[in-house]
Structure 1
Amino acid sequence: MDNPESRLSEYIDALNAEHEPEKHQGIADTPEMEKLLATIRLVRTLREPALPDPGYPQRLALSVASTLRLVEQNPKPGGRIFEKAPGHSGFRWMPPAVAVLVAGLLLFVVLTSWTGLNGLFNHDVAYAMEKAVAQLSDYHGVLEIRSENAAGEEWMTRRVEIWSDGDKYAVRQDDGTLTVNNGGRKWQVRPQSKEVALLPPAPDPSRHDFDLRDESKRAQQYPHVVAGTELIAGRQATKLEISPPGGSTYYLWIDMETNLPVQLQTAMQNALRSTSTFVSFEPNTQISPGIFTCQPPEGYKVVEEDPGQLAATVEEAAAISRLSPLPPQEAPDRVYAYQDRIVLDYGDTTIVETAAQGSFEPVSNSALGTAAGGPLEVWRERLRWRQGGIEIQAEGARRVELARQIAADLTLPDAGTNLLNKAQVKVPVDMEIVKADQRQVDGGHAPWQLDPLQVSLTFVNLQVTPEGITGEPKIPASSFKQVANNGVEAVVEVASGPVKQVYLERLVRQDETGIWSVVGYDRR
């Protein structure tokens, strides 16, 4: 072809039409032309790949079915199937087993492309977020929390400014109140009263409403799908629809550039839902050290609210608090001594030790294990038990590892243990009612269903008075004692009345937010 421009134009048209121009136009005439064609092919690869038309999977399935029928029609040993040889007008033999394998692989590839890529993309978004959050060293941002009612009316609840650097953070509220924890001390600057309150630095509850690490963890833990993309505070973000088992769907938006969460929207509960948005966010920025320095403004009064004392060693803390602590073998990062307790700070885990007083009563909704020959309370990310006259509480990511350095016999509850098979009487359960009850509790109603003791009390007293419970129950709360709980199943012992033991199970959601249902009982 003499006209290079025409050659290039036809070459581009052929590529765009998903043809192979080399087969029809031949190779380039000159090295210069070949370089141009190579450049065009490279640019062409930047386009989204052309997908088959919607009817392609059906046509392929029919083709595969035809191939399989040929195999069935030629069942004799050594039988062959005709396959057209590439580049030839004739056919060649193909063994039936190979034909079936090839057809199956083709069908698998196509079906996977239609059904699996979306799930893979969902996983990639959550995984990228997890990696980005793990690499986040510090950030500064402004978080807006807005509320919306069922009528669509929306208003701002509050706006906070956040500085975060490792284990240090500062949060400034709308009214100017500034709460700071620099890892060694925690204080709150209160402009209205012109006070600086020194607060206990550990244990420290949730830092603010929208914890990036917690949300990243939940997104990985719960089923989720990509629900599209939206512009959030001027940033293009991927919208994740997250569905906790048995709970209401909520949404999380991830910045497509940084892969960090930028907005969280809760489910509608009691005709209200909340949306937390980082209207500004600076990841991995240089935060001034002065923000984490305790310098009371001029004219402010310093108020101590049992801030504790940073001790050099556990022994020094013991002398200050007059306790005989039982520390893990591993030395803590920091030790705080208070009048009635010692706090061992390991960064991501905190151990609090106090003098044991009265009887040990686990939280009724907690799972039960054993430690130091006695009961072990397992509640969310917290372990609590008694040992040597000391009540010990370990909370955080390394709670089990550090707790076992104190109580070597510590045993966690086994969710695989069947606690229900001994029930004499099985209680039928309507799962639709249970799911409705779970949604009701999620909305803030009937929280007693989260407590196996309260659920047992209601069940047993309805056996005594089927017409309903009025006034004080016939079988008092003091008669009920939880004797086993592996987090999924529980057994409650009843001291009096027609029922000896009640068997319960978390049927919808197997965590601390799941309600308990009676599934069996033993007669007295």
Structure 2
Amino acid sequence: MNNGQKKWQIQPGQKKVEVLAAFPDSYSFTFELGKEIDDVKNALETKIVGEDKVSGRTAIVMEVTPKGGDSYKIWIDKDTKMPLQKQSAMQYSIQYKVCYTSIDFIESIPKELLAYTIPEGFKEIDTNTEQIVNSLADVKEILGFTPTIPENVPSSFIQNNISIVNDAKVVKINYTSKDNKKKVVILQKKSDSEFKPASMAALGKVNNNVAEIQSPIKNEIGILQGQVPYANITGISSVRWKQDGFEYAVIGNTYLEELELFIKGSTSGIVDISSKEQSLDKPQVEVPVDLKVEEQEQKNVDAGHSPWKLDPVFVSQVFASLKILPEGIQGEYPIKYEELKIIKNTGKEAIIEVSGDKTTIKRVYLKRLIREDNTGIWTVVGYDPLKNQ
């Protein structure tokens, strides 16, 4: 159970109550209602194909065609408009169906279910490693610095508490929306290491510093490491950057635009993490693309094959390596992953710079041609050759 302030699991067999971090909630379900609703809203096409019964309730059967994917069916409760059942597309002779075999709708969760109590005879096991502190002075005494507190935050949020992750040497300023539906956490720690954005992240600017933007979070690096898991949780986004010897991250289950307000309240510089349409530089050499082939590649990735095509750096590594070994790569790639650097990434277009003494390419240009969200594959559309080639 998670009431927004505390998460716990009652284990009757062992007579114990395990206390966990309330945010982010890493529990996930195959048939996540919020995600299914978003997928229908963002689909390329939807159409009603019939009516059926699911768990005794009348449901509308809808065929959904996602961008760059195969059509699937979803059963929507006629009264509440909530998804009740889903049938996937047939992929490699495999098709799955998931549904609620029993469902009841109530106006709100009973308060007694959200109240944290330890049953008689049970032992509390607190696995949450965060330490709540009373003041900024406590933070300075423990970590050796005074954290930056935003001067202004959205009026719909209130500061919940300040906590420390001792092992990671990270301070967290925790905010909760007044309706208790959204959480935003500002992380800060000292850092003398080079800032390296995640390869699958979009890039922006915070006070003229490179900012890593993940929506949702796919890679936990830097300050995101060594804490509760953030990656692959529906609806969790983050912005991470380094400034004046400190690494920061703002994380929340809200829109990037709202996270941007928290960042602006923490810095006097210009903040640009928007996803405005912008066209990057054009390549010197264009690479022809067969959209039908790319559509099939997208379907393969959706089915769990070749996940590396979601990483623009990996795609660039393969492309640059094949320019050296056009007959195929056996063993190690001639271009190392570490020899590639993200120059620009809008989330829809990317430019990767290639270094090393073997490369014949200076830059690789990529686009998400089939699907422009984080599930879309990257396609090489051009490159800049080395001048001496």
Task: Work out whether residues 75 and 83 of structure 2, in 8 Å CA contact, stay in contact via their aligned partners in 1.
Answer: yes
2:354 touches 2:362 (CA, 8 Å); kept in 1? yes
| C-alpha separation in 1, matches of 2:347 and 2:354 | 20
From 265, 275, 279, the counterpart of 2:87: 265
Equivalent residue, structure 1, for 2:313: 453
CA distance 1:356–1:192, change in 2 (3 Å): farther
1:480 equivalent to 2:306? Answer: no
User: How far does residue 288 in structure 1 lie from its aligned partner after superposition?
Assistant: 3.1
CA distances 1:467-514 after superposition (whole Å, capped 9, x unpaired): 111111112112111110111110000013110000011110001100
| Alignment pair present for 1:517 and 2:364 | no
Give the conservation status (yes or no) of the 8 Å contact 2:240–2:247.
Answer: no
Contact 2:87 2:95 in 1 (8 A): no
Deviations 1:83-121 (A, max 9, x none): xxxxxxxxxxxxxxxxxxxxxxxxxxxxxxxxxxxxxxx
Look up the match of 1:345: 175
Aligned pairs for 1:137-156 within 5 A: none
Counterparts of 1:174-189 in structure 2, within 5 Å, are 180-189=1-10
Match of 2:221 in 1: none
Match of 1:46? none
Question: Is structure 2 residue 66 aligned with structure 1 residue 238?
Answer: no
Q: Residues 418 and 456 (structure 1 numbering): CA distance in 2 closer, same or farther, change over 3 Å?
A: same
State the partner residue of 1:136.
none
DSSP 3-state at the match of 2:75: strand
- Pick 1 or 2: higher relative contact order, CA cutoff 8 A, min separation 6: 2
Report how far residue 225 of structure 1 moved. Answer: 1.4
Larger mean Cα displacement after TM superposition, 302-311 or 181-190: 302-311
Matched residue SS, 1:461: helix
Name the structure 1 match of 2:15: 194
Q: 1:235 to 1:332 in 2, by over 3 A?
A: same
Alignment of 1:351-430 (within 5 A): 351-357=185-191, 358-380=193-215, 381-388=237-244, 389-397=246-254, 398-407=258-267, 408-412=269-273, 414=275, 416-421=277-282, 423-430=283-290
How do 1:489-500 residues align onto structure 2 when only pairs under 5 Å count? 489-496=349-356, 497-500=359-362
Distance 1:517 1:246, change over 3 A: same
Counterpart code for 2:10: V
- What's 1:24 paired with? none
| Alignment partner of 1:275 out of 95, 98, 101 | 98
Structure 1 pair 264/272, CA: closer, same or farther in 2 (3 Å)?
closer
Partners of 1:185 and 1:191 lie apart in 2 by 19
**Gap runs ≥5 in structure 1:** 1-179
Question: CA-atom RMSD, angstroms?
Answer: 2.5
- TM-score of the aligned structures, taking structure 2 as reference length: 0.80
SS at 2:53's partner residue? strand
Residue of structure 1 in register with 2:229 after alignment: none
Distance in 2 between the 1:360 and 1:266 partners?
Answer: 41
1:207 and 1:309 mapped to 2: Cα distance?
26
Instruction: Map Cα deviations across residues 174-204 of structure 1 (whole Å, 9 max, x no partner).
Output: xxxxxx1112111122234333221111222
Judge conservation of contact 2:31–2:98 (CA < 8 Å) in 1: no
Q: Secondary structure at the match of 2:23?
A: coil
Distance 2:134 2:66 in 1: 44
CA distance in 1, matches of 2:281, 2:67: 22
Give the percent of matched residue pairs that are identical in Structure 1 and Structure 2: 31
Q: What is the SS of the residue equivalent to 2:242?
A: strand
Q: Give the structure-1-normalised TM-score.
A: 0.61
Gaps of 5+ in 2: 216-236
Higher helix share: 1
Partner of 1:332: 158
Letter in 2 for 1:350: V
1:438 counterpart letter in structure 2: Q
C-alpha distance in structure 2 between counterparts of 1:431 and 1:288, whole Å: 52
In 2, the alpha carbon distance for the partners of 1:301 and 1:268 equals 47
CA contact (8 A) 1:420 1:520 kept: no
* Pairing partner for 2:112 from 290, 300, 322: 290
